[in-house]
A and B are shown apart, each in its own frame.
Chain A
């Protein structure tokens, strides 16, 4: 297929922009190149400009990591193009599962160009020019010309890379349409990044300025139940004593010492709830030491969502800069402004729904459809009687929940035992029960796993792909789980497109949920529309009449968002903060 047969023109483009922490991008200049005529347009846009580009569907726009370009469009108040191919997800997809050049060189423009034999610029030149741009100006006329020249170099590379990649992208009409869908998603990403998440900046400032003192009070308050700190120092020997008094089978290192890494604390606090507060304290102390949460002057948390960064095609935003990557209590900084509300709208048990729908396992779908798939599994497996409920059979439901979620995340018996706080034998038994109950699902999942291990490509309904190449040690568990996670990513991408195109203000995606902001005047309509669009997106991706359920948790001004796992810590911290602020402090002489 020639692009000339499908498009009036293909326009490669690149912006240079200033990106300060938490702020919207500030575009500096734009260079475009028409593949039809070879003409270049160079535009200095630092003081604003009218859009000089035709954006009808017959014009295909090509960029590399194009969400940055669309962020600039939004800052400039321009309409976004309709037909988009972003060569970054295309390159990421083509190399997904391959070990070698891509994993060594990364997924930047120069690496992709290198892989396709496209001449590139010197990496040092690129770094120097980026540094000059990030200084933020003002720039001399010579510097402006230099920046435009540099931008044009990137555009030429992008255009040449497109020519090389096009035959692999547009292998047929379906493949091209799927690439366009990924391009469409980069526009949704830009809209979400542009919106950002509203933060209570007053409280954030108080937290930061009082932290040195607050920290000591917090340790004292939480440590009352543990006795494992001396001042602000965590003492391993005291922790050893606490673990033995609680009779917790804490994992140890080869040298017999207690494991103190974050992953162990996370797992242990799931299986032994008494560990949770100490875990939260340790995370808080580590995170607050170097709090990197990016908040702009408009009070929004804003960071790169890093779309397509994981093998499953999911976003991978920074865990420190992104509010939902931080500890649960810090998320209580999320607060709508006056007259607005926020809704955390999530797909209910998305992985289970996808597993049931794609494998066609009627029993698993029946469990999902019951509204409580964990209890349904317990009943189907004969572990609880017919009619058992969440309140009548809490313990077995919790175990079944861990198993079902664990299977969705590709966990084995060992990890499941740790997560559920049960013996390995019991975890193995439950896993076997799962296998016996959902035999159709397991047959399907293992057949896909085998295909992947054979080096055959796996692809989701909307075309995200994985193909193992040169991997000396593939993770077979994650292959088992890849179809669910990746199809979940398909659903999230489509839903993000549908929501943002319907002018719903999506602050950010959060794994299988979206945080949206709405005016209190339009609350009912906006929530209903959001739910409907998300259900529709899941129905389109899963097909055959299957659809996910969607739930919404709503917060209205003056309330704040609250994650139940961080509620206790947040209330402790705000109480201590109030006490500190109420304490009269001596005025020190200069």
Chain B
């Protein structure tokens, strides 16, 4: 090797090995959510529910039975009073499945119905919600029992929560189309027989 030329040594790995060429990170590419699902957890997936109150919101919802699957419409402001007969109080909770896909669970706000009777569907769903705050949970409807069966996984892996605020999640979940702000909304017009 000639010193004055500082010729590279083809036999020295330190000269030709580059560290972290395939580090897979730091490249600024991330999954962008342009829509998230609003509804119940799917019966085939394990999910976790966010325990932080900032990711829960009491809301009023109108369920459109005519669409398949049912569409949820968020009712806001004065429209709640105006449409009180049509709306149901619900609890929106941020959940995420094992693939890191978030969804907003339209959960019951309490186990009892308006006559203070315990509804077993709601009761078992809320139990599953509580469990999902700390464990991976799968929830499956059992028609004979008129309740949800709940399964937990021993996995202790932490979920990948999306880096989004609840406001952003609501926008992604409902979009402007499914937010009812006034009586001219197409669903309201249909429900009131104006169309």
Contact = CB atoms under 8 A, between A and B. Distances in A.
B154 interface: yes
A435 interface: yes
B29 A454 contact: yes
Interface in B112-157: 153-155, 157
A461 interface: yes
A463 B18 CA distance: 7
B16 A178 contact: yes
B27 A447 contact: yes
A126 to B, nearest CB: 31
Interface in B1-40: 1-2, 5-13, 15-19, 21-25, 27, 29
Contact of A447 (B24, B155, B160): B24
B22 A177 contact: no
B116 to A, nearest CB: 41
A448 B25 CA distance: 8
B22 A6 contact: no
Contacts of A136: none
Contacts of B29: 447, 450-451, 454
Given A454-B29, A540-B13, A178 B2 contact: no
A5 B8 CA distance: 11
A184 B10 contact: yes
Contacts of B157: 436, 439
Given A8-B2, A83-B7, A180 B27 contact: no
Contacts of A461: 17-19, 21-22
Contact of A58 (B1, B11, B15, B18): B1
B81 interface: no
Contact of B16 (A83, A174, A443, A447): A174
Contacts of B10: 57, 82-84, 177, 180-181, 183-184
B2 A435 contact: no
B25 to A, nearest CB: 6
A483 B24 CA distance: 10
Interface in A349-368: 358-359
Most buried by B among A57, A183, A358: A57
Contacts of B9: 57
A25 interface: no
A192 B27 CA distance: 39
Contacts of B1: 57-58
A197 interface: no
A39 B1 CA distance: 24
A459 B22 contact: yes
Nearest to B12: A177
B5 A444 contact: no
Q: How large is the interface on B (under 10, 10 to 19, 20 to 34, 35 or more residues)?
A: 20 to 34
A177 B15 contact: yes
A321 to B, nearest CB: 30
A82 B13 CA distance: 15
Most buried by B among A447, A454, A458: A447
A6 B5 contact: yes
Contact of B25 (A7, A183, A444, A458): A444
B118 to A, nearest CB: 34
A462 B16 contact: yes
A460 interface: yes
A27 B121 CA distance: 85
Interface in A320-366: 358-359
Contacts of B68: none
A382 interface: yes
Interface in A152-177: 173-174, 176-177
A412 interface: no
A447 B23 CA distance: 9
A110 interface: no
Nearest to A359: B24
A251 interface: no
Given A358-B22, A435-B99, A454-B29, A7 B17 contact: no
Given A444-B24, A463-B21, 5 more contacts: A82-B10, A174-B16, A180-B10, A181-B10, A461-B22
Interface of A: 5-8, 57-58, 82-84, 173-174, 176-178, 180-181, 183-184, 358-359, 382, 432, 435-436, 439, 443-445, 447-448, 450-451, 454, 456, 458-463, 483, 487, 494, 501, 540-541, 543
29 contacts: A6-B7, A57-B1, A83-B10, A84-B10, A173-B8, A173-B15, A176-B8, A177-B10, A177-B12, A178-B16, A180-B10, A181-B10, A432-B99, A435-B99, A436-B98, A444-B23, A444-B24, A447-B25, A447-B27, A448-B22, A448-B24, A450-B29, A456-B27, A458-B22, A463-B16, A483-B22, A501-B11, A540-B13, A540-B17
